Amino acid sequence: MFGIRQKSVSRLGIAGKFWAHEGIVMIAGTTMLALLAFGADPLAEERHLATSRFTIPFRVQPEKKDTVREALLYLSLDRGKTWRLHSRLSANHEGFLFQATQDGPHWFTVGLLDQNMRQEPANIPSAPVGQKIVIDTSKPEASLVVLRNNSDISIQWDFRDQNPNLASLRLECRTPEMPTNQWVPIQLQPGVSGSGSFPAPSTGAITVRFQASDYAGNFVSVVGESLALPAPAPQPVAALPVSGSLLVGTSAYPPAPGTGPNPGPASGWDATIWTPSATTLPNHAHLPAISQVSTQRPPPPTAKLVNQRQVQLDYEVGKMGPSGVGAVEVWTTLDEGESWTLASTESFAQTGMALTANPASPVRNKIPLNLQREGIPQGFTLVAKSRAGLGRPSPQKGELAQIRLEYDTTAPEATLFSPVPDPDQRDHLLLSWKASDKNLAINPVTIEWANQLEGPWHKIGNRELANTGRVSWLVPPGTPPTVHLRLTVKDQAGNLGVAQTQQPILVDLTIPEVNILGLSDGK
C-alpha cells in the first residue's frame, strides 16, 4: 500500500445533515465540524436506493384482518413537513409497489382504516415514520489529474454528487510491469476533492485509478496516467514484485530469503523504496513454440432497439444458496465493453422483496434499465450477489455485454405519391411511396384505404409490405370512386411514420364505352 503526502482535502458540508436543536454547527471554509452532543439525527435513518421502483411492505396480523378495511400509504417528499395519501390497498396485500417520479427524499407511513372508517394512527404527521428512503438514480461524476515530477507522482481528484459516500473513496495505482488486473491501494484522507503526491515505484508510466460511489451505490471510476521517465542507459535491474504490501516511508518490501535491504529511515517521506534482489530467470530457449491463438473478439450480440429511455428487463436467477439473493447489480458500457460502470443496485434486503424461495427453483424478477444516449448501443450485464455478499466479479475490460439496447425515438420518413393506373394490369392502381430510416423493420410498410378520413381503414394486401417503393393494387369491386389513402412505416424500435391524404383520391378505373344507337328523327 502506498502512502500519499496529502496537500489538501475538502469534505462536503450540508447543513441539512444535522438536526442541531441543542448543538452547535460551525462552518470553516469547506469543512463542517459538529461540536457538542446532538440529539438523534432523523436523516441518519434514511436508506438510499438507486432504483425508483420498490416495495413498501406491511402486514396485518391474521386475527385483525377482518377488522381492517384498507391499508393507506402516505408519502412525504419534504422529510415529514407535509404528507399526502398516495395509494390504498385491501388488507390481504403485503406491500405497496411504489414507482417514484423524481429523485430525493421519500418518507412513507402506512395507516390502517377499520370497518368503521377510523384510521390508526389517526394523526399521520405526528406518528412515527415507517420508511425513510432517499431515491438517487443519478450517477456521480469525478475527474482525476495525474502528473509526474521526476521521481514523484502528483494527483488531484474531484468527486461530485448530491449524496457522496466518502467512505467509498478508493485510490489505486499500477506500474507497466504489473498484471492489468492488479492494483496497489493508495492511502488517502477521504474528501470530495483533494491532492497529494507519492514516490513513483517505477520509471514507466504510472496508472492511477479513482473510484467512489454515493450512498445509493451509484458508482464512478476514472483513470489517469503519468508520463514515463526517459529511458536510462541499459543496466541490470531488479525485478519489480507484483504482489505483497508496499509501504512508503515507514518500511520496505519483505526481503527475499537470504537477502535483505540496507537499513532505511524509520519515518519521513523521502525514504527509499526497497525491492527484493533480482531473481535469475530460467532459460526457456529450449521450449517448443506454442501455437498461435487468435485474439479476435467475438462479435457483440445484436442490439435490440427500443423507443423508451427506461425499459424493464426480465431476468431469472437460476442458482442460489440458502441465503437467497441479496442484491442485483446493473453494469453498463457505452464502448462495447472497453469500460464498465455500475449503473444501479437493486437491494432486496432494503426493498422488502424476498428472493429466498426454493434454491432449487429459478426465481424471476424485473429490473429497470436506463438508456443514456439516443442512437448509441448500450450494453448491460447483471451481477447477482447473495445475502452473504458472494457473487461473480464485475465485468472486466473487453467483456461482452449480456444484452445490448439502442434508444431510438426518431420516426421513419414516409411519403405517399399520387396513384396512377397500372398499364400492365387491368383494374389495378400503382401505389408509390418513399420510406427511409436507419433501422427500418424487415417489412416496414402498411398501406390502407378508407371511405372517410375517420375510417374504418382497410389494409391493402394481407400483410406488411417490403420497402420496394411501389405495389400494384387490384381495386375491389364495390370500392367507392374516391377514397383516402394512408401509408404507415415502422422501424425496429416501434416508431411509426405516417403519410395520409387529407382529400379523397379518385380511384375509379372504369373506362366509359359509347355505343351508337342510330340516327334520330330530328325531333
In the three-class reduction of DSSP (H, G, I as helix; E, B as strand; rest coil), residue 512 is classed as coil
Residues contacting residue 230 through CB under 8 Å, at least 6 positions apart: none
In the three-class reduction of DSSP (H, G, I as helix; E, B as strand; rest coil), residue 347 is classed as strand
User: What local confidence, expressed as pLDDT, does residue 487 receive?
Assistant: 92
User: What local confidence, expressed as pLDDT, does residue 92 receive?
Assistant: 80
pLDDT of 414 > 60? The answer is yes
Query: Rounded distance, CA 181 to CA 495, Å?
Result: 43
Query: Rounded distance, CA 486 to CA 459, Å?
Result: 9
User: What local confidence, expressed as pLDDT, does residue 254 receive?
Assistant: 38
pLDDT of 358 > 60? The answer is no
Is 206 or 288 the better-scoring residue by pLDDT? Answer: 206
User: What local confidence, expressed as pLDDT, does residue 143 receive?
Assistant: 92
Across the range 357-363, mean pLDDT stands at: 60
pLDDT tier for residue 515 given thresholds of 50, 70 and 90: confident
pLDDT of 440 > 80? The answer is yes
Query: What is the pLDDT of the chain when averaged over all its residues?
Result: 75
The CATH fold assigned to 304-407 is Immunoglobulin-like (2.60.40)
User: What local confidence, expressed as pLDDT, does residue 434 receive?
Assistant: 92
User: What local confidence, expressed as pLDDT, does residue 340 receive?
Assistant: 92
Fill in the amino acid letter for 498.
V
pLDDT tier for residue 262 given thresholds of 50, 70 and 90: very low
The model's pTM is 0.41
Question: Which of 105-109, 185-189, 429-433 is least confident?
Answer: 185-189
Across the range 338-355, mean pLDDT stands at: 70
Across the range 320-340, mean pLDDT stands at: 85
Query: Rounded distance, CA 413 to CA 488, Å?
Result: 10
CATH class of this structure's domain 51-135: mainly beta
Query: Rounded distance, CA 45 to CA 512, Å?
Result: 87
User: What local confidence, expressed as pLDDT, does residue 29 receive?
Assistant: 24
Residue with cell 418513399: 434
**Contact at 8 Å (CB) between 201 and 240?**
yes
**Contact at 8 Å (CB) between 384 and 281?**
no
Across the range 301-324, mean pLDDT stands at: 83
Query: Rounded distance, CA 74 to CA 107, Å?
Result: 8
pLDDT of 190 > 90? The answer is no
User: What local confidence, expressed as pLDDT, does residue 284 receive?
Assistant: 36
Fill in the amino acid letter for 193.
S
Across the range 186-204, mean pLDDT stands at: 83
**Contact at 8 Å (CB) between 173 and 182?**
no
Query: Rounded distance, CA 419 to CA 355, Å?
Result: 60
pLDDT of 50 > 60? The answer is yes
Query: Rounded distance, CA 26 to CA 34, Å?
Result: 6
User: Grid coordinates representing 30?
Assistant: 469547506
pLDDT tier for residue 233 given thresholds of 50, 70 and 90: low
In the three-class reduction of DSSP (H, G, I as helix; E, B as strand; rest coil), residue 62 is classed as helix
Could you tell me what percent of the chain has a pLDDT over 70? Answer: 75
* Helix (H) / strand (E) containing 348: helix 348-351
The CATH fold assigned to 413-506 is Immunoglobulin-like (2.60.40)
User: Grid coordinates representing 399?
Assistant: 467483456
pLDDT of 498 > 70? The answer is yes
User: What local confidence, expressed as pLDDT, does residue 28 receive?
Assistant: 22
pLDDT tens figures, 246-261: 333 222 333 334 434 4
The DSSP code for 249 is S
Residues contacting residue 426 through CB under 8 Å, at least 6 positions apart: none
CB burial of residue 498 (10 Å; 0-12, 13-18, 19+): middle
pLDDT tens figures, 77-118: 999 999 999 999 888 887 888 899 999 999 999 988 988 899
| Domains 51-135 and 413-506 equal at CATH topology level | yes
Residue with cell 492494483: 183
Q: Where are the domains of the chain?
A: 51-135, 304-407, 413-506
In the three-class reduction of DSSP (H, G, I as helix; E, B as strand; rest coil), residue 183 is classed as coil
pLDDT of 32 > 50? The answer is no
Of the ranges 162-166, 258-262, 349-353, the best mean pLDDT one: 162-166
User: What local confidence, expressed as pLDDT, does residue 248 receive?
Assistant: 30
